[in-house]
Copies of this chain bind each other. A is one copy, B any other.
Amino acid sequence: MNDRREILGSDDQAKLASDLALVIIRLARKLRCQRVNSPVSITQLSALATLLAEGPMSPGALAAHERVRPPSMTRILAALEELGLIARTGHPADGRQTIVALSKQGTELIEADNRDSQRWLHQHLNRLTSDQQALLRQATDLLAELVTGAPQSS
């Protein structure tokens, strides 16, 4: 792991942290408002994507994955259920828990969305050179590890 000395000085690291935080906030803003006419918001899409990638799980586990609090997930799930994109089943052994899974429509929607709907971002990425695209691919994986706190094994 940390087998290399640091090239970025302490000030540079602080600036990286600051710059990265701000660019993320601005990009998030942009991504959210790009979807304002979509059937599902980016928040909802994110939950669906986790269910697709990780499989069915309880609301609590999903909240932990998404880094939101359980009551927030309750609201996200209520909206998704109303849209028919998820289905709940009782936990076989523990009566308190429920298991949330993508419905057929939910699966179709997120697969279509992955293909078509991140259009703004996709178009911009499309204009980058192959080196730049590869760079962002690596950076995205690194940031994903940062969010989860541990390397994604998949």
A residues in contact (CB < 8 Å) with B: 1-8, 12-32, 42-43, 45-46, 49, 66-68, 113-115, 118, 120-122, 124-144, 146-147, 149-150, 154
Contact = CB atoms under 8 A, between A and B. Distances in A.
Contacts of A4: 129-131
Nearest to A128: B142
B25 A43 contact: yes
Identify whether the interface residues of A are mostly helix, strand, loop, or mixed.
helix
A33 to B, nearest CB: 8
Given A18-B114, A114-B18, A134-B8, A13 B122 contact: yes
A129 B143 CA distance: 14
Nearest to A154: B120
